[in-house]
Structure 1
Amino acid sequence: MKKIIFLFSLSIALTCCKKQQKADTIIINANIYTVNDHFEKASAFAIKDGKFIAVGTSEEIKKNYDALTIVDAKNKTIIPGLIDAHCHFYRMGLQQQKVDLMGTKSYDEVLQKLIAFQKEKNSTFITGRGWDQNDWVVKEFPTKKKLDSLFPTIPVAIGRVDGHALLVNQAAINLSKITKDTKVSGGEIILKDGELTGVLIDAAMDFIPFPETTKEEAILGLLDAQKISFSYGLTTVDDAGIDQQVIELIDSLQQDGSLKMRIYAMISGDKQAQIDYYIKKGKLKTDRLNVRSFKVYGDGALGSRGAAMRKPYTDRDNHFGALIYSPERYQEIAKQIAASDFQMNTHAIGDSANTWLLKTYKEVLKDAKNRRWRIEHAQIIAPEDFDLFDNIIPSVQPTHATSDMYWAKDRIGTKRMQGAYAYKDLLKKYGKIALGTDFPVEQVNPFLTFYAATIRKDINNYPENGFQMENALTREETLKGMTIWAAYSNFEEQEKGSIEIGKFADFVILNQDIMKVEGDKIPKTKAVETYLNGEKVY
């Protein structure tokens, strides 16, 4: 009997004296959305070696863990690190070194910005991006006449907001081989009264010989893009369409620790040599870089009427837009990628482009499982094509809906609008949807993505009842689309996208509860602090 009592007492003593486990960081007193399978809430977690090692209540975490760094979140909301499933991270960084034309409300304002930029920079070749004639009073493409007058000898080449149209002056044209008789496949050279206007669409832009980006400019651009992205709570970005040289630079900067951002790099599929190289080389995966997909362009953009449509544009007779390549070329690319372990992610805006690509995907994949091929944008879908998304991931950008809603119906008519920006319908077919911004086409701010997906209004509360609200997403669906579903689209759901034991400690502390705050206050959400691997990076 004495022996039993002794053992019982010893057990109690050992339990009472049990040491707390060591953690690097503990977060307590938080309002945490874990985004796990059951979308559970928590109030605390512990981090060690860059990963979550415990998630639970503040009492549980304080009782079982000790750390040098203990952060009292004071009931602030915490969500997993945000993932932008489709953006142009490198391009946005480079754009910081060029003239910014985003938000310009007239062609004259564009010209004023060019004048001010040149006065400051004294550039030998002026480049920039961001103009959008749909935001002007006169909603027509500009011409180069005023550019030629202001810059008679300095080449100017400025991109439309979507990157699918370019306005150039005569000095830039003189560096190319363009004439009014030049023929273009997969694009257009816009003429007026039989003369060059200076507007080039899609493939026609390739005629302009832009100056090469130096390595120093590339590094500065990547670091600038990282700084901006961290400030908005982004911890992973899917860079849609970058070349081998850029991917290798990213890898080297990540290896030396200067570039911390996690990047899902979609290799540009524009060059056959790159497709051949990476398929032979195989996938590349580190904790911060994932190279296992190709980005291919299916068509142009709706705003520049380059999106490939089944029937003519409503506001331009006998104009259908265009596929970038022939249907046969898409089959060649898809077959080659299907025979590898790589993913194919294709830009498709118009209903014709979506039809071609979806059917091509189905044909080459046959019954292959878990390939997770993506349609990027999936913007205008014919009614019968929604069913083709049963095993194809829709990767969409909600702010495109609220940017285009003012004029999209003029472009394509009421009937086709029923299948446009149809995020809820796409979600129902696949069961998941990946959300991004397409920055710098749209703003980097992911909270505008959240607002556009759920409330479907602009920041001026227009339209009063929301835009095509039957296709709004719930807040839970939207947060999943910006975290765990985006991670899934990258084959990374086991390591990120939710606050769970064993996953990277990537998370964001917000200034307000984005899941409960009134709808019109969502755009005012800010990232107070951003953590990657448990390290505060903003």
Structure 2
Amino acid sequence: MNKFLFYFSITLLFVSCNPKEEIDLIVFNANVYTVDANFSKATSIAVNNGIIVAVSNTGNINQKYKAKKEIDAKGKTIVPGLIDAHCHFYGLGLTQQVVDLVGTSSFDEIIDKVVAFQKEHPANFIQGRGWDQNDWDIKEFPTKEKLDELFPDTPIALERVDGHAYLVNQKALDLAGITASTQIEGGEIVKKDGKITGVLVDNPQRMIDAVIPQPNRATQIQALKDAERLCLDYGLTTVNDAGLYKSTIELIDSLQNAGELSIRVYAMVSNTNDNLDYYLDKGIIKTDKLNVRSVKVYGDGALGSRGAALREPYSDKEGHFGAMVTPVDQIEGLAERIAASEYQMNTHAIGDSANIVVLRAYKKALEGKQDRRWKVEHAQVISEADFDYFENGIIPSIQPTHATSDMYWAEDRLGAARVQGAYAFKTLLDKAGTVALGTDFPVEHVSPFLTFYAAVARQDLEKYPEGGFQMKDALSREETLKGMTIWAAHSNFEESEKGSIEVGKFADFVILSDDIMTMPVDGIPNLKAEQVFVGGNQVK
């Protein structure tokens, strides 16, 4: 036997004694954006027990592994599982049970929808969500007279699209005990000629909330499952729910443990005394699918309802400054209390006045503390000098579609000079070094592809405005994908387990219908998440 045959025989013997390792899944022939530290690409992924065990761009995964299931991606693009860094997951599910008012073009259309819904789904308390007077020809708050006429004996609460205002009828006002003399700080009971119009902005809404019937457990479960279905359809594998109560968090945990809910949830605990007493003492709660380690605080209201707290009056409403929902001294006290715990503080701040209150409170409370990753949720209107606060480890949690929804009237609210510091995503990224991107759904549409498009193109679906809205603050495609994956994971203290396609991380990934990084930008809103995997399991 010559040497060649001898060594060939030895090689065959060696190979036969070292069979391929059996694993669960191999995806090959793919265009994989790993979103690792080098933003490198790959062609195949190997998965076992829900974890990525190999990532390759040489096609040699099949030489080492034998999979129970193989998927030929046929050149399709794969990205890490998408993360919505600020949304209302449970709220999205609940909105599926009420009158859908999103996109209504007039108050008359709202009336028609409410009447039709009540005929089809009779209720003792009518609820709806999604109206926005800025979309109407007459851009003024509606009033309750027509609702009083049609529904004198049935209470009604119709929530504005941003969640920061209600339109209610007289029956609801009576149930809540709200009269023309009622006084509540941190919001407004809107009046005209001394009479209540039915519009309640921010804190007065809580009096209505107290009399709205609470959904039963079956409705709560259905809401969570409905929300999951919508999110998974768009490739969202982790959602950051910005404000949950203990009972809902525990319900999510029980459904996840029972295998009835696949999506991963980063739960921000709603700022109530009971919640803080329980969670701050208990400490961080962490499973593979649930992470409870943050508190959601409301600083002010929303710009669209003129509830955002501004340093100078609204340009389109003389003498009106908006309002702090949580008083300044309480925000400072909360910051000190949360800083003394393991928890993160995530505060809603829209107006420039609210933002500086929150940023100063953060700076003071975090002095001498490292890597706390506190977030400013929205960070929507910032005074030029205040951007520097984000250099101290504070993370802007921003929603690009807010810019493209508000751009039609934002300058009316803020004026030409002040609007330059609004929706300043690139400026925030340059200062903070990272941004976490979300939608704030159901305020905006669930689709992360609309988020991506708004961040990069800063236009609406009709390509308005020409050239984009304040393009100095557009993000690149790479920055945007990072903001929806690895940076969002980092903001949740989860970058070691998700946010990129790397060995040792959860096998959360999405196969897209086109290449989001190279396709024409105006096609991005129509992208599809064709296949979605959570922990290696195909969920779509």
If the TM-score is normalised by the length of the shorter chain, which range does it land in?
Answer: over 0.9
Q: CA deviation at 1:367?
A: 2.4
Alignment-derived partner of residue 140 in structure 2: 140
Residue of structure 2 in register with 1:59 after alignment: 59
CA distance in structure 2 between the partners assigned to 1:518 and 1:53 by the alignment: 33
Partner of 1:314: 315
Q: What amino acid sits opposite 1:302 in the alignment?
A: L
Q: Match for 2:406 among 379, 404, 407? A: 404
1:386 aligns with 2:379: no
Match in the other structure for 1:175: 175
Tell me how many residue pairs correspond in the alignment: 535
Distance between the aligned counterparts of 2:338 and 2:62, measured in 1? 50
Partner of 2:521: 519
Contact 2:41 2:57 in 1 (8 A): no
Q: Does 1:102 align with 2:105?
A: no
Secondary structure at the residue paired with 1:157? strand
1:471 matched residue in structure 2: 473
Mapped contact 2:78–2:512 kept (Cα < 8 A): yes
Give per-residue Cα distances to partners, 1:161-204, cap 9 Å, x unaligned.
Answer: 00000000011111011111111100100001111100000001
Assess if the C-alpha contact under 8 Å between 1:378 and 1:396 holds in 2.
Answer: yes
Identity %: 58
1:314 deviation in Å? 0.4
Q: What SS does the aligned partner of 2:376 have?
A: strand
User: What is the CA–CA distance in structure 2 between the aligned matches of 1:518 and 1:194, rounded to whole Å?
Assistant: 54
**Is contact 2:511-2:529 (8 Å) kept?**
yes
Q: Tell me which residue corresponds to 1:331.
A: 332
Matches within 5 A, 1:473-488: 473-488=475-490
Give the whole-Å Cα distance in 2 for the aligned partners of 1:326 and 1:67: 58
CA RMSD, Structure 1 to Structure 2 (Å): 1.5
Residue type at the aligned position of 1:533: G
- The amino acid that maps onto 1:64 is K
Q: CA deviation at 1:309?
A: 0.3
TM-score, scaled to structure 1: 0.98
Contact 1:399–1:449 under 8 Å retained in 2: yes
1:212 CA drift (Å): 1.3
Tell me the alpha carbon deviations over residues 223-247 of structure 1, each in whole angstroms, 9 at most, x when there is no partner: 0000110000000000000100100
Report the alpha carbon displacement of residue 14 of structure 1 after superposing the two structures with TM. Answer: 1.3
Q: For 2:66, what is the secondary structure of its paired residue?
A: strand
Provide the residue aligned with 2:375 in structure 1: 374
The normalised TM-score by structure 2 is 0.97
Instruction: Output the CA distance in 1 between the equivalents of 2:372 and 2:163.
Output: 29
Task: Read off the aligned partner of 1:453 and give its amino acid letter.
Answer: A
Q: Deviations over 1:135-174 (max 9, x none)?
A: 0000000000111111111111010000000000011111
Paired position in structure 1 for 2:284: 283
Distance 2:16 2:521 in 1: 49
1:85 maps to 85
Tell me the CA shift for residue 57 of structure 1: 2.8
1:32 is matched with 32
- After superposition, give the CA deviation of every residue in 1:11-61 in whole Å (9 maximum; x if it has no partner): 674157532221101101111100000000111111100011000136211
SS class of match (2:417): helix
3-state secondary structure, aligned to 1:352: helix
Secondary structure of the equivalent of 1:497?
Answer: coil
Give yes or no for contact 1:399–1:452 (8 Å, CA) kept in 2: yes
Q: Which deviations, in whole Å up to 9, do the C-alpha atoms of 1:417-472 show, x marking residues without a partner?
A: 11100000000011110000000000000000000000000001101110000000
2:453 is matched with 451
Distance 2:108 2:42 in 1: 53
User: Would the aligned equivalents of 1:51 and 1:505 in 2 still touch at CA under 8 Å?
Assistant: yes
Aligned to 1:434: 436
Alignment of 1:141-156 (within 5 A): 141-156=141-156
- Quick check: 1:29–1:58 contact (8 Å CA) kept in 2? no
Which residue pairs with 1:504 in the alignment?
506
* Structure 2 match to 1:268: 270
Structure 2: state its 5+ residue gaps. Answer: none
Instruction: Tell me the residue number matched to 1:212.
Output: 214
The answer to whether the Cα contact below 8 Å between 1:28 and 1:58 also exists between their aligned partners in 2 is no
TM superposition shift of 1:332: 1.1
Q: Distance in 1 between matches of 2:314 and 2:426?
A: 25
Alignment-mate amino acid for residue 340 of structure 1: S
Per-residue CA deviations over 1:472-503 (Å, capped at 9, x if unaligned) read 00000000000000000000000000000010
Retained in 1: the 8 A contact 2:190–2:196?
Answer: yes
Of 15-24 and 319-328, deviating more is 15-24
Given that 1:237 and 1:262 are in contact with CA atoms closer than 8 Å, whether structure 2 keeps it comes out as yes
Amino acid at match of 2:109: E
Name which of structure 1's ranges 427-436 and 15-24 shifts more when overlaid on structure 2: 15-24
**What 5-or-longer segments of structure 1 have no aligned partner?**
none
Would you say 1:201 and 2:201 are equivalent positions?
Answer: yes
> Which 10-residue stretch deviates more, 324-333 or 36-45?
324-333
Deviations 1:117-143 (A, max 9, x none): 001001110001100000000000000
Aligned partners of 1:506 and 1:531 also within 8 Å: yes
Task: Measure the CA separation in 1 of the matches of 2:274 and 2:174.
Answer: 29
After TM superposition, list the pairs within 5 Å mapping 1:126-137 onto structure 2. 126-137=126-137
> How far, CA to CA, are the matches of 2:46 and 2:365 in structure 1?
45
In structure 2, C-alpha distance between the alignment counterparts of 1:193 and 1:225, rounded to whole Å: 42
Aligned partners of 1:313 and 1:412 also within 8 Å: yes
